[in-house]
Structure 1
Amino acid sequence: MTGLSATHRYLPPSARARRRSLWWTAIVLALLAPMAWLINLPYFAASAGPTDDAVDAVIIEEDLAVFHPEGELLLLTVSLQPVNLYEAAIAFFDQKIDLIERESLRPGGETDEEARRRNLRAMDRSKDIAIAVALSELGLEETLAEGVEVVRVFGEAPAFDALSDGDLVVEMESQPVRTVEDIRRILENRRPGDEVQVTVIRNAEPTDLSFALHENPEAPERAMVGITASTAYPIEIDSANYGGPSAGMIYTLAIIDLLEQGELTDGRVVAGTGTISMDGSIGAIGGIRQKLVAAEAAGADVVLVPRDNYDEAGAAPVEVEIVAVETISEAVSYLREGNAGIIEGQ
């Protein structure tokens, strides 16, 4: 008599086929899983980056009165990391991380190094504007101006053979030069080709120069020196390796807080992000959700954000108080008196 052993169960052919299929699927997935680490995607994972007190980055010459606040003005950043298939899958399900197409951050095949240099240039420009706007807000812009620093001389300009990067222009046509606006005023009635006499500080020594004025490419009848320049002040900002323009607002507030008696923060931890323009307007930035996550993790009591980022900020997975501001005056008013356009308790 034949029969089945008690330790064996009969499986019909269809069940055996399904079992083999599952085993083969498991084997294939096991073999493919390591490859997920090797497949890089054209995306960046944007997550909360480090935070720093912007006040610590401001360097002011010793002969100026400085009032160190007890509170903090936090600079917010975003961390960008290229992702493989496995990391992208994790980021997709994490509410605090966004996947951003590489092309939107590195347009035209821009390399990481090219992007780094571009962002550092944007930061340098942002710092210059932050200093000028802060001093303007305090009424000290002209008082503390030391001259006009030459950033770059146009290669096609006659001044190319006379001026050097880093020169500090302090006099033009026997008139004192303290700000960029002074140069514009002096050249207002000059024509391209006119010769000008200039005194610069070079290597800590005054140097007299002369050169012909350059033609303004946007208005050929108007004269220009042929340089990019910025007004020099006894203030510097050490931005370390941070790039981009989004720290403009918080650096501006840090300078104001240091030079003004009294305290903007009132002992609070205030975080903020937003670009700054010469007219004091605060512009939108990228990565607002991640920056809010960073602010909350750093213990911020309130976060100042550009008005144009407010709707997106409200969708961030945080509970910290968010205040939308449009100008630096509005931000200062809120910190001093609690007045601002939009306040949202999350």
Structure 2
Amino acid sequence: MPRPTTNAVSTMIARIRSHQRTYAFRPTTGRSTRRRTRPIARRLSMMMLVSSSSLTGMTPSIDGPIRRLRCSLLFAARAMAGCIEVGGRRPVPRIPATRTSTRIMTVEDTTGAMLPPPLGSPVAAVAPRPWYRDRVSVAVLVLVSFLLAGVASFYTVPAQWVGRILPGNSVVDVGAVALKPGSARPTDDRVQASDIEIFEPEGKILFTTVAVDDQVTIADWVRANSDDAVELRTREQVFGTRTSAEQRERNLELMAVSKESAVVAALEYLGVEAVVESGVGFNGVVEGGPADGLLEVGEIIVAIDDDPITGLESLLELLTAIDPGTEVQITLEDVDTGELRAQPVTIGAHPEGREGGFIGIMDVTVRAVDADLPFELDIDSGSIGGPSAGLAFTLTIIDLLTEGELTGGGKVAVTGTISAGGTVGDVGGVAQKARAAEDAGAEVFIVPVDAIADAESTTERLRVKGVATLDEAIEVLAERGGDISELALQIDGVTAE
């Protein structure tokens, strides 16, 4: 018998598929069996062909097997679809017989190779236990909450509460003010000059500040007992009888006077007469002192006996030469009316044991008239108050108006008041300022001569130098390599003699 060709086989398969598509079977369940019928029919047809060829030992023909397979395949397909044909009408579904079966499940350890079950799998996933039902998780949460609350309380709870719990610390009990290290900032960018040449230095002169905190927390109280740079004081010791707002305003006024004195002192050192001094004023009288009840605020001291008083230096020079107990005539000028009066005062001894006489005036100011200069100098202090930056501003002006490096190219921190004549005065908070200067990287800290011990108490690396005058401050800078060879200005018409 001849072998079937490829075209004949293709035709046979196509005819088989056409017979499969002529019947529409109604499924017995919700899922369609049509897609399963076709591949099963193909497998059955191939099995029939193979079995026929194996029995005869010959290659099967086309027509014979096709006829036999046609009935077999149609019957098998209908049987698998669960339908029977009734009188050529639409197939009616056959209700399959119900069979019972027993499923045996075994448990195997497949942890290492098990994959997650597919969607719709009957294997139910085990839901994790909520964290709030776990005692360990709840305990950890409570512990962390208490720790966070404790840390927050440490930095927010007022220290006065500690004073009530631990009696005996009177500073905390009555209300405390904390003095902390402030900042150490460059001064060269705060000095503005016009109509005159400026020499920008490489080194930096830093003015220092103190942070005054009247909201003392437990952290401040603990730190004050372990760090010398933090100091607790009573409110009266810091502000006196003034409120915080009044003290703030007072500090701004003192800064304004300090900046004027710094300009005058710097120009005087450079040989330029910036102002004409004409008397010494004061903003307070020492209670119980020689001038108490005799001199009034708003008057200017213009002479003692027959010696004129033009500024602070001339006043100090005269008082140094007068012995305590000597009666003198002080000539006073009223600021508003210009009237003069003579007031006899008995000179007293200085309460700090200094040489010379003492009249007992506070917050001394110098009355002066600005000279007509061909250039302008201005200092921007921002919101910083107090007079302690006077010496720093003075040295900065000298450095900017002259060639060379006054600081030797390094960082120098400075604190101290300055008078128009170049006298350096005492300031407060030197211990806190020294820590701020050290943190800012300063190499030397120039302070008033009486504040050396305070500065050295809070720093180890910083070199502390005490000075009493502007000349001594310039010498300290020269010792560390500062250039002071050309510290002078020659301006026509305003050069000092």
TM bracket, shorter-chain basis:
0.5 to 0.7
The one-letter amino acid of 1:253's match is L
- Ranked by relative contact order (alpha carbons within 8 Å, sequence separation 6 or more), the top structure is 1
Question: In structure 1, what is the Cα distance between the partners aligned to 2:252 and 2:341?
Answer: 27
Show the counterpart of 1:299: 441
Show the counterpart of 1:107: 240
Shift, 1:77, TM fit: 0.5
Show the counterpart of 2:163: none
Question: In structure 2, what is the Cα distance between the partners aligned to 1:84 and 1:115?
Answer: 18
Cα RMSD, aligned residues only: 3.1
- Equivalenced residue count is 239
Q: How does 1:94-243 map to 2 (within 5 A)?
A: 94-108=227-241, 110-142=242-274, 214-216=338-340, 230-231=369-370, 234-243=376-385
Superposed CA deviations along residues 135-180 of structure 1, whole A, max 9, x for unmatched, are 00000124xx6x99xxxxxxxxxxxxxxxxxxxxxxxxxxxxxxx9
Shift, 1:129, TM fit: 0.5
1:246 aligns with 2:359: no
Show the counterpart of 2:199: 67
| Ranges in structure 1 where 5+ consecutive residues have no aligned partner | 1-29, 149-179, 182-191, 194-211, 221-226, 340-346
Question: In structure 2, what is the Cα distance between the partners aligned to 1:140 and 1:306?
Answer: 25
Question: In structure 2, what is the Cα distance between the partners aligned to 1:324 and 1:107?
Answer: 28
Superposed CA deviations along residues 5-50 of structure 1, whole A, max 9, x for unmatched, are xxxxxxxxxxxxxxxxxxxxxxxxx9xx78x814644221111112
Q: Which has the higher strand share?
A: 1
Show the counterpart of 1:275: 417
The one-letter amino acid of 1:138's match is L
| Ranges in structure 2 where 5+ consecutive residues have no aligned partner | 1-149, 161-171, 278-309, 312-332, 345-365, 482-497
Superposed CA deviations along residues 230-282 of structure 1, whole A, max 9, x for unmatched, are 52661111001111111010000000001112120111011110111222111
SS of the residue corresponding to residue 270 of structure 1 reads strand
State whether residues 127 and 237 of structure 1, in contact with CA within 8 Å, keep that contact through their aligned partners in structure 2: yes
TM-score normalised over the length of structure 2: 0.44
Superposed CA deviations along residues 42-85 of structure 1, whole A, max 9, x for unmatched, are 22111111221111111111x10111110000010011112446
Question: In structure 1, what is the Cα distance between the partners aligned to 2:340 and 2:187?
Answer: 38
Question: In structure 2, what is the Cα distance between the partners aligned to 1:274 and 1:253?
Answer: 11
SS of the residue corresponding to residue 176 of structure 2 reads strand
Q: Could you say if the C-alpha distance between residues 229 and 48 of structure 1 is closer, same or farther in structure 2, counting changes exceeding 3 Å? A: same
Shift, 1:336, TM fit: 2.4
Question: In structure 2, what is the Cα distance between the partners aligned to 1:262 and 1:118?
Answer: 37
Show the counterpart of 2:226: 93
Q: For the pair shown, which has the larger CA radius of gyration, 1 or 2?
A: 2
State whether residues 223 and 230 of structure 2, in contact with CA within 8 Å, keep that contact through their aligned partners in structure 1: no
The one-letter amino acid of 2:470's match is I
The one-letter amino acid of 2:201's match is P
